[in-house]
Chains A and B, each alone.
Chain A
Amino acid sequence: MPQDMPPTGGYAQVQYKRNIPARGFKPAYYMIGMHVIMAYGFYKYFHGVREQRELAREKMWSRLHLTPLLQAEEDRDQVRRHYADKAREKELLGTDAKVYNSDRFIRPTFAYTPANLTQ
């Protein structure tokens, strides 16, 4: 029995490509557009990062300049409390007696306890 062979000259072309009109742009244009958007976004974003760094630097330096003022205020408060403490001790003990057995200055720790707390 003869084998079933392809027709002489081969088979006819198979129509596999759809002939529908292309819609929209080429895909490459979409990709380029996306990259353009992203490039612009990152360009602006880097500017934003620089501005934030500058603001952080400014904040840091303003605090650095404020430090002496705040330190002076705290020192003043400490001195006032120290003398008040001494006076209280003198009133309790009569003489100018020392609580500690040395001349070394010990920075006292005061806790601020206001009478009526809010919040």
Chain B
Amino acid sequence: MISIISIIEGLLLIVPALLSVAFVTIAERKTMASMQRRLGPNAVGYYGLLQAFADALKLLLKEYVAPTQANIILFFIGPMITLIFSLLGYLVVPFDSGIFVSDYSLGMLYMLAVSSLSTYGSLRSTAQLISYELILSSVIILIILLTGNLNIITIVESQRIVDFILPLFPLFIIFFIGSIAETNRAPFDLAEAESELVSGFMTEHSASVFVFFFLAEYASIILICILNSILFFGGYLCIIPVEFIIDILYNIFGINSSILEDIFVNISSSPLNLAFKTALLIFVFI
């Protein structure tokens, strides 16, 4: 019974993660299309919302091609490892106060380990990732210095007074640039080799193996955006300064209602806050 519950827990985390990956791909394509004055995907489903599922279906039904000189086991295991490790990172993410899969006391260390394992690619990609991983870990060490704890929930809760973007403003910029480089996005996509190859290290993969790679890449983008919002924007904490509003209501209008305070306390931490912050960061990524 307990094992079934833990399996359901895992599914409750993984399925929305994969769904959000699918919708992020559509969002990216739509945004890029609107930047380039195109329509983007608009045939499958309403407003092209089911395009990602159609793509996945097409890729899963396709025939896979493996190079003759390739080590076939490593060739198929590589993308799987990438996907599994980028999904493992979601394990320690707190979505709300009390909503998490694992309250791991070394969460930040785990996150670093998993995110560095999920990197895969050629020599060029590895060189880039090694150089930017250093920056990411140094910034994370500074945040650990401020919180004095490796637990991610403690890191979020210690931002109740002030989000770490204010005291560590330049570090946020550095961390964000580093995370863009870590996920091989637009200005740092030399691993993708736009001018020489089609899609860099993904060229040789096709069909379901390619799907794994694609999902892994976007899952790691979402994960690192979640990490950004946890470390610098206070994760699931409220965007609206609730205590400030309560103070204004009390001091200026003389309202001291416990019902109002209850409402404010309830909205002060919600998964929607994390979702909003992460969505904003993903939009900047695109």
Contacts and interface: CB of A to CB of B under 8 A. Distances in A.
Interface of A: 34, 37-38, 40-42, 44-45, 47-48, 51-52, 119
A51 B166 contact: no
B101 to A, nearest CB: 17
Given A45-B146, A45-B161, A48-B161, A40 B166 contact: yes
Contacts of A44: 161-162, 166-167
A119 B167 CA distance: 43
A57 to B, nearest CB: 16
A118 B162 CA distance: 41
B2 interface: yes
A41 B161 contact: no
A41 B167 contact: yes
Main secondary structure of the interface of B (DSSP, over half): loop
Contacts of A40: 166
Contacts of B167: 38, 41-42, 44-45
Of B146, B161, B165, the most chain A CB neighbours within 10 A belong to B161
A47 B169 contact: no
Main secondary structure of the interface of A (DSSP, over half): helix
18 contacts: A34-B170, A37-B166, A38-B166, A38-B168, A38-B170, A41-B162, A41-B164, A41-B165, A41-B166, A41-B168, A41-B169, A44-B161, A44-B162, A44-B166, A45-B146, A45-B167, A48-B158, A48-B160
Contacts of B166: 37-38, 40-41, 44-45
Nearest to A33: B169
Interface string B78-94: 00000000000000000
Interface residues of B, number: 13
Contacts of A37: 166, 169
Of B146, B167, B170, the most chain A CB neighbours within 10 A belong to B167
Interface string B135-167: 000000000001000000000001011101111
A41 B167 CA distance: 4
Interface in B207-233: none
Contacts of B161: 44-45, 47-48, 51
* Across the A-B interface, the 5 shortest Cβ-Cβ residue pairs: A41-B166, A48-B161, A41-B167, A44-B162, A42-B167
A32 to B, nearest CB: 13
Given A38-B168, A47-B161, 16 more contacts: A34-B170, A37-B169, A38-B169, A40-B166, A41-B162, A41-B167, A41-B169, A42-B167, A44-B162, A44-B166, A45-B161, A48-B158, A48-B162, A51-B161, A52-B158, A119-B2
A45 B161 CA distance: 7
A79 B95 CA distance: 47
A34 B158 CA distance: 22
Nearest to B166: A41
Interface string B20-41: 0000000000000000000000
